[in-house]
Amino acid sequence: MHNINVIKGDITKVKVDAIVNAANTTLMGGGGVDGAIHRAAGPALYNACEKFHGCPTGEARITGGFNLPAEFIIHTPGPVWHGGDNGEDQLLANSYQNSLQLADQHLCRTVAFPSISTGVYAFPLQRAAKIAIATIKNFLPTANYVDQVTMVCFDDRTFAAYQSQLY
């Protein structure tokens, strides 16, 4: 049974095989969820990310989880919103798709995502939630290992947006 669920909480405390980091293209830590994950994982994460020399928007890279309860951290830079006519929807879908593929390749059964690009990158929340849930729903039937995806929402507004897309 493939499951998607939506919870409100702190992604750095979720016990899953892999958490996804809404990273910037340098992968070297930043604000929001990215900074929180880097702080919680510890300084070894910075060193692990250095070897990638960044990551293009929509692609994904994987590291160990270090001091987090998750075994892996999947880093994906989501798109910055520029009005919607610059491929943002496809780039956001790619962030989810490529993260899920990496998780599957690393035999992860459980994956937790934050709301990618809806913070400082200003992607409209409802639009992002629709793309995220649709991409996850399309991926799950094709997965070899991934069978539980959790959207971890930071606040009530984000929780409501993702919850509304489940049905």
The count of structural domains within the chain is: 1
Average pLDDT of span 3-27: 97
Structural domain of residue 84, as residue ranges?
Answer: 3-164
Alpha-carbon distance 154 to 103, whole Å?
A: 22
Mean of pLDDT over the chain: 96
Give the CATH number of the domain where residue 90 resides: 3.40.220.10
Cα 88 from chain centre? 16
Q: List pLDDT tens digits, range 105-146.
A: 999 999 999 999 999 999 999 999 999 999 999 999 999 999
| Catalytic residue check, 34 | yes
Catalytic residue among 10, 17, 34, 155: 34
Whole-model pTM: value is 0.97
Report the candidate in 72, 119, 80, 112 with the shortest Cα–Cα distance to residue 96: 112
